[in-house]
Amino acid sequence: MDYDAGPVVRPYAMTQGRVAPSGGDFDLVAFVVATVPDLASGIQMQPEHHAIVAAAWEPISVVEVASHLDLSIGVVRVLLGDLRSAGLISLYEPPAATQPHDVDVLKAVVNGLRAL
Amino acid sequence: MDSVRSDRSGGSRIPVALKILIAGGFGVGKTTMVGSVSEIRPLQTEEILTGAEGADDLSGVEGKTTTTVTMDFGRITITEDLQLYLFGTPGQDRFWFLWDELSQGALGAVVLADTRRLADCFPSIDYFEQRGTPFVVAVNCFGADQRFGPEAVSRALDLDPGVPVVLFDARDQVAARNVLIELVEYVARRQYASAGSR
């Protein structure tokens, strides 16, 4: 029932009102990987920062982070920007949009779908 | 296979993720389709209202600076190193800017159509044609009798030759999966054709 009432804190309070990630934007399906345990960081860490680092111990996509932590994409991006600036995570962008998709990958997708 | 980036020293490999968009008018079965082929999860995309572009009447809520759009997303794990992400695009026109981000680098799109309201899918088709994003049209038959065949739908939508049109039931996992296969094979054909003409 508390859930129905909506979040207690407005979403961008978590980012101190910032709406763009530091160091540039990244794709929804970019992968996030924690690089070091988050103990020694120079930034003011919020619980959500810690939660992201914990979730990213194995590679996880940006969209999965948002869904997993039930945070909006915009907020997650800002928090990821902080973590990247602090050197706590690496972000791996998907291959460039202009690059044609690998035929072997397409074949693997078709075969994988058939096997579902 | 060089599709897997293993540049992370000693750690787990980074999977390759492919995006597929599920588009179409309101209530045509986007959520149903994403849900029938993948584990569906809601995704909040908090977006900023700038005021100037807002068609909404903000009187009384002038302090409101953000609005939440929820869209559907689902993941299909092909292999450990290869994942397919499905995104149900938000239906309202004022969220076109979200589409731009979604279609960036996307493998392709499925445009869902309902022959009783065919015009509802025109904006999606225009969008993908303009961007050059490969798409297939999937007519959701809702289990009812379908009076129009794929050729009639293709003509009615004035589709370019070669754009696949399939009839299916979005609730049926196998049928929905076959639509995705149709799309990926179409993308592969297009790529093969463009490579041959170079």
Q: Which of B175 and B197 is assigned the larger pLDDT? A: B175
Report all structural domains of chain A as residue ranges with CATH numbers, in order of start. 11-114 (1.10.10)
ipTM of the complex, rounded to two decimals: 0.82
CATH of the domain at B137: 3.40.50.300
Chain segment B149-178, per-residue pLDDT in tens: 999 999 999 999 999 999 999 999 999 999
Average pLDDT over residues A38-65: 85
pTM above 0.90, yes or no: no
Q: Please, are residues A28 and B19 in contact by the beta-carbon 8 Å criterion?
A: yes
Q: Please, are residues B82 and A105 in contact by the beta-carbon 8 Å criterion?
A: yes
Q: Determine, yes or no, domain membership for B68.
A: yes
- Span between the terminal Cα atoms of chain A, in Å: 37
Query: What was the pLDDT predicted at B53?
Result: 44
Query: What was the pLDDT predicted at A25?
Result: 80
Q: Determine, yes or no, domain membership for B1.
A: no
Q: Determine, yes or no, domain membership for B29.
A: yes
Domain span at residue B23 reads 16-196
Count of structural domains, chain B: 1
Q: Determine, yes or no, domain membership for B75.
A: yes
Conformational region of residue B156, where left means phi above 0, alpha means psi within -120 to 50, and beta covers everything else: alpha
- A44: distance to nearest CA of chain B, Å? 23
SS3 B86: strand
Q: Which of B61 and B103 is assigned the larger pLDDT? A: B103
Chain A: residues touching B (Cβ < 8 Å)? 10-12, 19, 27-29, 31, 33, 58-59, 61, 63-64, 66-67, 70-75, 90, 92, 94-97, 100-110, 112-114, 116
The position carrying tokens 């003011």 is A44
Chain segment B118-149, per-residue pLDDT in tens: 999 999 999 999 999 999 999 998 766 667 89
